[in-house]
Amino acid sequence: MSDAASELGVANSTAHRLLATLAHHGYVVQDRSRVYRCGPTLTPLAQADASAHLRQVAGPYLQQLSDRTEETAHLVVLEGNGTRFIDCVEATQILRVSSRTGMLLPAHTNSGGKAMLARLTEVQVRALYPRGLPEAAKSSAASSIATLRRELMATRRRGYGLNLNESTRGISAAGRHVADHTGSVLGALVVAAPSARCDRRRLGELATVLIDVATAVEAQL
């Protein structure tokens, strides 16, 4: 409250009344130490702003990822326990993975989602799935928190997430998180290819390029 009063050049009592009004409308909340922080009304705006900035910075690198791998490149963000596809550069090959921009898929079923979930603590992951994992029809994705925990541990070890026909049959993909200078994960880059020409060996080769490009994006951020 005193910081707000100083910034606005008003008395503490005035700052208190202003913050109380903002709290009433959900713009701010007080944590356990009574410090004011952004509230739920502002959260979607902040997320939209962060996604727009990520798209702007990552755009050229998304094109580079597609050009270097000759496969489709996606840019995704974590939205609750889902993966939101926010940008894409499609491969030019006839047989290719198409754009999914705008779609929201269960995070535990795709490589980008796993890459972002792997950067969360176990407590944070459990908070996203209070009733366990949602059922994914006709999917080979993890079906329990225990299985997902093992998958996320493997993702941390290798440095990227894998999707082997889990979100959609016939599609394989690798996903790598993208973080800012504070270590906060903003999203993930994904390279996706038809499984018919992408075995595990080639997926590893694609992941090498993916990590290189994602690291370049982080440097720009």
Are 50 and 23 contained in the same domain? no
Are 59 and 80 members of one domain?
A: yes
In whole angstroms, give the CA distance from residue 174 to residue 112. Answer: 7
Q: What's the CA gap between 175 and 12, in Å, rounded? A: 48
pLDDT band, very low/low/confident/very high, at 46 (cuts 50, 70, 90): low
Number of domains comprising the chain: 2
Q: Examine the pLDDT at 161 and tell me if it is beyond 90.
A: yes
Same domain for 56 and 26, yes or no, is no
Contact of 77 with 51, CB cutoff 8 Å: yes
| Same domain flag for 109 and 175 | yes
pLDDT digits (tens, 9 = 90+) for 73-127: 999 999 989 999 999 999 999 999 999 999 999 999 999 999 999 999 988 998 8
State the first-to-last Cα distance of the chain, in angstroms, to the nearest integer: 31
- Within this chain, do residues 157 and 102 fall inside the same structural domain, yes or no? yes
Same domain, residue pair 178 and 137:
yes
Residue 29 confidence class, pLDDT cut points 50, 70, 90? confident
Over residues 145-157, mean pLDDT: 93
151 with 124, same domain: the answer is yes
Mean pLDDT across the stretch 19-35? 76
- Domain match, 148 and 88 both: yes
Please report where in the chains the tokens 């910081």 appear, as a residue: 3
pTM: 0.76
Average pLDDT over residues 133-143: 64
- In angstroms, the CA 71 to CA 177 distance is 18
- The answer on 100 and 201 residing in a single domain is yes
Q: Based on the domain organization, do 29 and 109 belong to the same domain? A: no
Q: Are residues 24 and 64 in the same domain?
A: no
On whether both 185 and 167 belong to a single domain, the answer is: yes
pLDDT at 32 over 70: no
Give the model confidence (pLDDT) of 167-216 as tens digits: 888 999 999 999 998 889 999 999 999 999 999 899 999 999 999 999 99
Average pLDDT in the chain: 89
Residue 169's CATH number:
3.30.450.40
DSSP 139: -
Residue 200 or residue 64, greater confidence: 64
Is residue 192 within 8 Å of residue 213, measured between CB atoms?
A: no
Spatial separation of the C-alpha atoms in residues 190 and 206, rounded to whole Å: 10
State both tokens at 173. 């993909």
Residue 15 sits in which domain range?
2-38
